[in-house]
Structure 1
Amino acid sequence: MSSALYRLGRTAYARRRAVIGAWLALLVLVGAGAGLLGGTLDNSVTIPGTESQAALDRLTATFPEAAGTTAQVLVVGEDGARVDDPAVVAAVDAAVAEFSDVDVVTSALSPFDTETPGASAVSDDGQAALMTLSIEGEGVAIGDDVKDGLRDIAADLDAALPDGYEATIGGQLYSQEFPGLTIAEVLGVVVAFIVLVVTLGSFAAAGMPLLNALLGVGLSTLLILVAAAFTSVTSTTPLLSLMLGLAVGIDYALFIVSRHRELLATGLPPDEAAARANATAGSAVIFAGLTVMIALVGLGVAGIPFLTTMGVAGAAAVGVAVLVSISLVPAMLGVAGARLAPRPSRRARRAAAAAPPAAAPATAPPAADARATAPADEQGDTWDLPAHHNRFFAGWVRLATARPWVTVVLTVGGLVALALPALDLRLALPDAGVQPAGTSQRITYDRISEHFGPGANGPLVITGSIVTSDDPLQLMADVADELRRLPGVEDVPLATPNASIDTGIVQVVPTTGPTDPATAELVRAIRDLRPQLLEEYGFDLAVTGFTAVGIDVSAKLGAALLPFAVFVVGLSLVLLTMVFRSIAVPLKATLGYLLSVAAAFGVVTAVFEHGVGADLLHVSRLGPIISFMPIVLMGVLFGLAMDYEVFLVSRIREDYVHSGRARQSIATGFVGSAKVVTAAAVIMVAVFFAFVPEGDINIKPIALGLAVGVAVDAFVVRMTLVPAVLQILGDRAWWIPRRLDRVLPSFDVEGEALHRELGLASWPGDAQVVVAARDLRLAAGDGSDVVSLAVRRGDALVVHADDPGLVAGLLLTVAGRLAPAGGDLKVDGYLLPVRAAAVRRRVGYVDLRTEGVGALDAAVAERPTVLAVDRTDLVTDPHERAHVATTLARAAERGTTLLLGVVGTTAADDLLPAGTAVTTLAPRTGAVA
């Protein structure tokens, strides 16, 4: 990966105009597609397969006027004025007629109608009258023109009422508003820019991550709009995608630009620095992005369509951010050229000016200001930090590791305290009661609760088949009486069959509001009546309606939380074990992630349910958290937590690999990476928190949870708890069983393989050498066989050995099919095993023992650069040997270098074209030499 990113970085740097132009052209193209297709967003939150959704689907066919969306118009008298005033009744009746004339309104009954069942809706105190409008279709399919038209009629009714009366409109149709951007989100971007300027010390460098993120979120948002033309996409999805894409787009570009500036400071030319930054930081970006994407796609574990769509859209936004970062950022670095080279700090300039003109003797001890040394730890390691290290972060890591057990106890105790409010976490879908105070829908909701009780805002609909009944009206009355006896039922205003007398519905008004846990208990109690009602009346009931659907959605989301948590935790253990080649580090990272999630849940619960700081964050009403907050927060925070773990701990591991001193590496690795991790976390927190004060009610708790989770995970878990735990573990932190180490694939996040490849770029020094080996140790055999050789283009290599495994092992290793145990090996200029995939494309391999002579013809037809043929000693038939020789001669004419494997002492000269220069590896004491 690092080699591919290195080449991509060099190419993008060299062809910067083309790369930038291509991304801009793609943005315009996708934008045009979104405009032409005209995809629309909705707020549908349904779960196929639940009882409430199945019943609602049946009602759509059998009782459509009871299955559609509802709106509520409330008329209220002020200062005790009664609504039965003739002028009020006349104005309401006129409005009912206007509402009935609207095409999509299937039913609009006057609250003063005492003859139609369920129509009469005047409060007990006589001060409020409630008109319910039944509207065809789901609210998500009803356009703003219809909503505005109904609002206009309600406004006309309000104007027609006598003084002292007021009419407002609300209900299910207006319970959710389409989210949009506000100035607060723009302020989040401004904060991010300020952090970038402080971190990178350059306006040009700071602008690159912002441009990178803006292009990425623009493209991903347009892609979502294109997708909305073909599938249902909730209106929350693009805002969540925007929030994620903006945060990770800035952070990923920051990592690459920061590494580029570090490399420029070492004296590398800009193009090389950009390529190496893309190879190293870009590798970490790809890994980090993949973890976020996998976690987001993992939201599909819940089996909920709208949540799966949200996860896929978020993953797409992150994927676009990754692709833009590893291609557009190097191109922008090419535009900047050498101008991004950092200037020495003021402290460094003062130190350079104060330095003596003559170098100190080689045997002289280091100057006092040249090293900053902390007390030795219990293993004898000393913390040797560069003279001009960041004093703040050096002090931070010293404080965290000075008394590691104290640090662990304090941090874990503090996080547990933050998490305690999460024990009260309640989940529900939002209703009109969470809309901002002062809006018509919120005023209507509150007034309905005041005059009719909170349950009137979310009545339940009980439906069932009545085709077997001889007396449908009496049956519906009996069912209504049974339901009235249940605790928690305020009223049963309607119990009636449909026009075709095959389906009956009963409307039940709970004593509690739609999101109250007691309402969910009532739904369960009604469903528990099913066997009794089926036996006594033949009525197979099902509970549905807007409130019941919300309860079922919340229940299924809550049930999906544990499987998703297991998926995320298991994924983190596997991924981090592959990255860090350790058992303790992944366990520590996963436990830290769980602490961060718990703390985020606790803070969200404290704010949105307990009211801590609610006014400051403009929380309009306390109550349950939106149902999908926990699972979305867990998925997103998992990826971000792994980001910080990779960027911080990989640097510590890199220092440990080079020095072998576990505890010193904590300090040096921390100081080397803490600045950029801090900047990335501050940017994330700023972007997420910007969506809290004025954000959409669906996004508010998610944004706050992410802001708190990122802050806790970055500063408390990764930058405080992790160094303390590593200090306690010492060398044990990097232990992994050898068998597990061999089985797991390796992720070269820090680009170590690329560094090795660049270090061997000039070897073997002869461009005509196709196969070069130096102290090569084969994985076959006992690992003691060492090979050094050089085979030039067009020459041949014949390998003789008594052990077939050694012959096959060498040929498979050269062919890129088997990783060497050690040493250096290049084939056609590609270093193995780093570039094994490229070598396999250029080297053909034929085993005559299993494949036969026919396979040799097919291999030669592919025109390989190198052709390895094993067990040529098995070709004993003269005709077959002549055929093999002819085939190999044809390959040699095309410039193919030949490698032949022979077991025993059988000669292979007759198989090679005349005049071919042959290198022979012969057995020596039974081993390849």
Structure 2
Amino acid sequence: MVDRWGGFVARRALSVLLAGLALVMAAGAYGAGVFDSLSQGGFDDPASESARELARERELFGNRSVDVVAVYSAPDGSGLAADDPAFRAEVERVVDEVPEGTVAQVVTAYDVPDGSLVSDDGRAVQVLVSLAGESQDDFLRAYDELAPALESDLLRTDLAGAFAVYSDVNEITAEDLERAELLSLPLVLLLALLIFRSLVAALMPVLVGLVALLGALAVVRLVAQVTEVSVFSVNVVSLLGIGLAIDYALFVVSRFREELATLRGDAGGRAPGPDAVAEAVHRTMASAGRTVLFSGLTVAAAMSSLLVFPQAFLRSMAYGGAAAVLVAMLAALTVLPAALRLLGHRVDAGRLPALTRRGRGGRRGAEAGSPATDEGARWAALARAVMRRPVVVVTVTVAVLLAVASPFLGAQWGSVDHRVLPADAPAHVAADLVAAEFGGETSSASLLLEGASEAEVAAYVEAVQRVDGVVAVTPVAQEAAAVLLRATWEGDSQSERAQGIVADLRDVDPAGGEVLVGGIAADTVDLLDSVADRLPWMGLIVVVVMLVLLFVAFGSVVLPVKAVVMNLVSITASFGVVTWIFGDGNGADLLGFEPQGFLDATNPILMLAILFGLSMDYEVFLLSRVREQWDRSAGDPTLTPAQRNRLAVVTGVQKTGRIITSAALLLAIVIGAFATSGIVFMKMLGVGMLVALLLDATVVRALLVPATMALLGRWNWWAPGPLARWWERHGFREEGRAPGRATGPATGPATGGDDPTGTPERVDALV
């Protein structure tokens, strides 16, 4: 299929390129309006107890949650105090002038006689605001309209609360995204110049990256017309769309240049003509194009596993991630080969002389990705060394990775609060002010009791007051046989202690009626339960899809299982690093964040989906070359099965080592730009993915893969008889490589010097 498509692109390159660019321009125009279609909420599970409590509370009483805390303070040197008439008049004026339809309820310090909303020094007051609306999106829109109106001309105004945090998160995330793109694209171009050593070739990854970004945004906007899609999906689109497009372009361009170099050698050093360029595109699509297709499908499948979660936030990451990956894949299989066909040998135009003078005697080095480079020889030597001591390498490497992963065993979990923001963010400053001036940080739970008599309500209140940690239970509203209570305790709503108090509150059964427990701390408890319930299903989906796709690609049931196990080890190691930094607070000053003492529960889930896909990305690239060489050497009577296996592994590592490392570096730049975010969970995502990516592209691919394949030998390619026969007939192999037919590697100036497959003596050196 890919082979036939490659032939079509080679024949109709201009038409394919023009059609692709026209589609991209249309997608860019349509996708530009994506932000107007995206949701800013989506963090809750509609079926959870906290969500049901909130929905029922709004149905009975309207919204009574404390969504915003406005703190009004006397300016320094003003001499004003909270009980001064001018101070009170200003607060009441601001409250009276809030825009109509933005609030459901406002409670000022002057409405609460116990003075609990007045600061310890008497110079500041709180105003508690319940927003109007039916959904998180409604509340965020109401907050955006309300926030400017809450500002006082006379008093200092600070806005705290969940929706002040969400608003700051959205604003800072948009700024971070813009900065990340401005930082990453020039650095990607610079590094691509160093890798390809020519300006035209270096522009190809940037071109495909832009196509992927524009196309994916248009797809996300289409999806947003039929379901809720979070604004945070755009971050994943940018990260995966640009990152994987660069990866795919790097592999396709490198293979195209390699095929051109081979054809140039066959032509006695002359530049290949149009027919030869078409043949190079054809060969590239049959090999690298096939690899890109399977890589895109595996990464998209990993991202789609997030659809098992009920939170719109996580589902949005599936929509955005899958869209970005599939558009990047399509761009690498359409626009890119068409451009390469039209460029031909001009893909090497704009060479940088300082980077092209390599090799002995001033001879210019081989093309990027060619096994004739000195670097290719070093990768081959490393693979040989690893395969001579596979047991030692596997034991030591796995032990080190598990040691790095060990902090993850003690990870604590929470959700978003003001601590995800930079210390100078307005909502963070306001939250610190509330804690400092109003007696410390407090948390609360909403208790909605229905169907209970007055005596049963009183008995229930007494039982709740006896829960360890609860300092107060106060009535909020009452309607017929329903009463809304608020239980309060000291401390952080995201701590394990707060989660334990919520569990204890839910264990209190009223003598009559039914009770629902909600609130911010309860939201976190329900989020953790939801994640724990669905994580096994996500894992099962990812593993099954990976096993099936890798079997179809390589005809083995052993290699897919091995790949899944190795990826889990490397990903777990990255989780250990993330826990050590963001959970335990190591390096917080260096990275510029305030330790929360816990990990946001949604981040490891998102990391798992992305990293599993990216890990399989490099696995597919490497194993494609290994399988290619395994098929080449089939039927060669001079090779034993063990020699064939070692030859295939060394050749695969040699031919992909430099490219995989280069791809990892390019993707690391894109991901690393996100690690500069001021939002802790975005910073955590960037750092965690960066660590996992570098581990996977170096330790796993250079050490674990060769070592485990050496240990397994011919069993690498084993499949049960029926599956093996099915694959021989229908397997998605490289076109033209029939099993049992030894074709031998291409020879010539580009492949002769360091090719480990050329002579029996070289083969013997592998054993």
Match of 2:703 in 1: 720
Tell me which amino acid in the other structure corresponds to 1:22.
Answer: A
- Whether the aligned pair in 1 keeps the contact of 2:42 and 2:312 (CA below 8 Å) is no
Match of 1:491 in 2: 472
In 1, the alpha carbon distance for the partners of 2:11 and 2:738 equals 16
Shift of 1:664: 2.7
Tell me which amino acid in the other structure corresponds to 1:30.
Answer: Y
Change (3 A) 1:28 1:630: closer
Shift of 1:519: 1.0
- SS of the aligned residue for 1:112 comes to helix
Shift of 1:47: 0.9
Shift of 1:678: 1.0
Match of 2:649 in 1: 666
Q: Does 1:206 align with 2:210?
A: no
1:504-547 deviation per Cα after TM superposition (whole angstroms, max 9, x unaligned): 111112222121111111111111112xx1x2xx2411011233
Match of 2:759 in 1: none
Which of the two has greater strand per residue? 1
Change (3 A) 1:439 1:408: same
> Counterparts of 1:228-267 in structure 2 under 5 Å?
228-267=224-263
In 1, the alpha carbon distance for the partners of 2:95 and 2:378 equals 73
Match of 1:293 in 2: 300
In 1, the alpha carbon distance for the partners of 2:438 and 2:462 equals 20
Shift of 1:293: 1.1
Match of 2:4 in 1: 4
Taking structure 1 as the reference length, the TM-score comes to 0.70
Match of 1:13 in 2: 13
Choose from 632, 642, 648 the match for 2:622. Answer: 648
1:482-510 deviation per Cα after TM superposition (whole angstroms, max 9, x unaligned): 22211121332x31443x43421111122
In 2, the alpha carbon distance for the partners of 1:301 and 1:318 equals 19
Q: Does 1:729 align with 2:726?
A: no
Choose from 157, 160, 163 the match for 1:170. Answer: 160
- SS of the aligned residue for 1:505 comes to strand
- Whether the aligned pair in 2 keeps the contact of 1:579 and 1:748 (CA below 8 Å) is yes
Gaps of 5+ in 2: 264-271, 365-370, 634-638, 744-767
In 2, the alpha carbon distance for the partners of 1:6 and 1:65 equals 59
Q: Does 1:523 align with 2:502?
A: yes
Change (3 A) 1:74 1:654: same
Sequence identity percentage: 29
> Counterparts of 1:742-891 in structure 2 under 5 Å?
742-743=725-726, 746-753=730-737
Taking structure 2 as the reference length, the TM-score comes to 0.84
Tell me which amino acid in the other structure corresponds to 2:208.
Answer: N
Q: Does 1:421 align with 2:421?
A: no
Tell me which amino acid in the other structure corresponds to 1:408.
Answer: V
Q: Does 1:325 align with 2:321?
A: no
Change (3 A) 1:541 1:233: same
In 2, the alpha carbon distance for the partners of 1:339 and 1:755 equals 35
Tell me which amino acid in the other structure corresponds to 1:414.
Answer: V
Tell me which amino acid in the other structure corresponds to 1:691.
Answer: F
Match of 2:154 in 1: 160
Equivalent residue pairs, number: 704
Q: Does 1:703 align with 2:686?
A: yes
Match of 1:442 in 2: 428
Match of 1:613 in 2: 587
Match of 2:446 in 1: 461
- SS of the aligned residue for 1:486 comes to coil
In 2, the alpha carbon distance for the partners of 1:99 and 1:18 equals 56
Which sits farther off after the overlay, 324-333 or 689-698? 689-698
Which sits farther off after the overlay, 438-447 or 621-630? 621-630
Match of 1:913 in 2: none
Match of 2:721 in 1: 738
Q: Which has the larger radius of gyration?
A: 1
Choose from 540, 543, 552 the match for 1:566. Answer: 540
- Whether the aligned pair in 1 keeps the contact of 2:502 and 2:521 (CA below 8 Å) is no
In 1, the alpha carbon distance for the partners of 2:343 and 2:123 equals 71
Change (3 A) 1:754 1:514: farther
- Whether the aligned pair in 2 keeps the contact of 1:284 and 1:749 (CA below 8 Å) is no
Change (3 A) 1:676 1:203: same
1:558-578 deviation per Cα after TM superposition (whole angstroms, max 9, x unaligned): 332233223323333333233
> Counterparts of 1:3-42 in structure 2 under 5 Å?
3-28=3-28, 30-31=30-31, 34=33, 38-42=36-40
In 2, the alpha carbon distance for the partners of 1:737 and 1:528 equals 52
Gaps of 5+ in 1: 354-384, 760-929
Choose from 482, 486, 492 the match for 2:463. Answer: 482
In 2, the alpha carbon distance for the partners of 1:477 and 1:92 equals 39
Shift of 1:422: 0.8
Change (3 A) 1:447 1:28: closer
Change (3 A) 1:168 1:261: same
- Whether the aligned pair in 2 keeps the contact of 1:9 and 1:327 (CA below 8 Å) is yes
Tell me which amino acid in the other structure corresponds to 2:607.
Answer: L
- SS of the aligned residue for 2:591 comes to coil
In 2, the alpha carbon distance for the partners of 1:328 and 1:386 equals 29
Change (3 A) 1:345 1:211: closer
- Whether the aligned pair in 1 keeps the contact of 2:281 and 2:337 (CA below 8 Å) is yes
Shift of 1:705: 1.9
> Counterparts of 1:216-365 in structure 2 under 5 Å?
216-267=212-263, 269-340=276-347, 346-347=357-358, 350=361
In 1, the alpha carbon distance for the partners of 2:17 and 2:288 equals 23
- Whether the aligned pair in 2 keeps the contact of 1:455 and 1:511 (CA below 8 Å) is yes
Shift of 1:97: 3.3
- Whether the aligned pair in 2 keeps the contact of 1:2 and 1:754 (CA below 8 Å) is no
Which sits farther off after the overlay, 219-228 or 245-254? 219-228
Shift of 1:459: 2.1
- Whether the aligned pair in 2 keeps the contact of 1:182 and 1:694 (CA below 8 Å) is no
Tell me which amino acid in the other structure corresponds to 1:490.
Answer: V
In 2, the alpha carbon distance for the partners of 1:43 and 1:245 equals 23
1:122-147 deviation per Cα after TM superposition (whole angstroms, max 9, x unaligned): 35665653221111125743487754
Tell me which amino acid in the other structure corresponds to 1:510.
Answer: W
Choose from 127, 131, 155 the match for 1:131. Answer: 127
Match of 2:43 in 1: 45
- Whether the aligned pair in 2 keeps the contact of 1:608 and 1:614 (CA below 8 Å) is yes
- Whether the aligned pair in 2 keeps the contact of 1:72 and 1:169 (CA below 8 Å) is yes
Tell me which amino acid in the other structure corresponds to 1:431.
Answer: D
- Whether the aligned pair in 1 keeps the contact of 2:189 and 2:202 (CA below 8 Å) is yes
Match of 1:555 in 2: 529
- SS of the aligned residue for 1:129 comes to strand
1:401-432 deviation per Cα after TM superposition (whole angstroms, max 9, x unaligned): 34322221221122112111111222322112
Shift of 1:38: 4.3
Match of 1:433 in 2: 419
Match of 1:684 in 2: 667
- SS of the aligned residue for 2:151 comes to helix
Which of the two has greater helix per residue? 2
Change (3 A) 1:592 1:634: same
Match of 1:921 in 2: none
Change (3 A) 1:453 1:398: farther
Q: Does 1:70 align with 2:67?
A: yes
- Whether the aligned pair in 2 keeps the contact of 1:13 and 1:271 (CA below 8 Å) is no
1:642-686 deviation per Cα after TM superposition (whole angstroms, max 9, x unaligned): 111111122123223323522233222211111111111111221
In 1, the alpha carbon distance for the partners of 2:242 and 2:539 equals 25
Change (3 A) 1:420 1:222: same
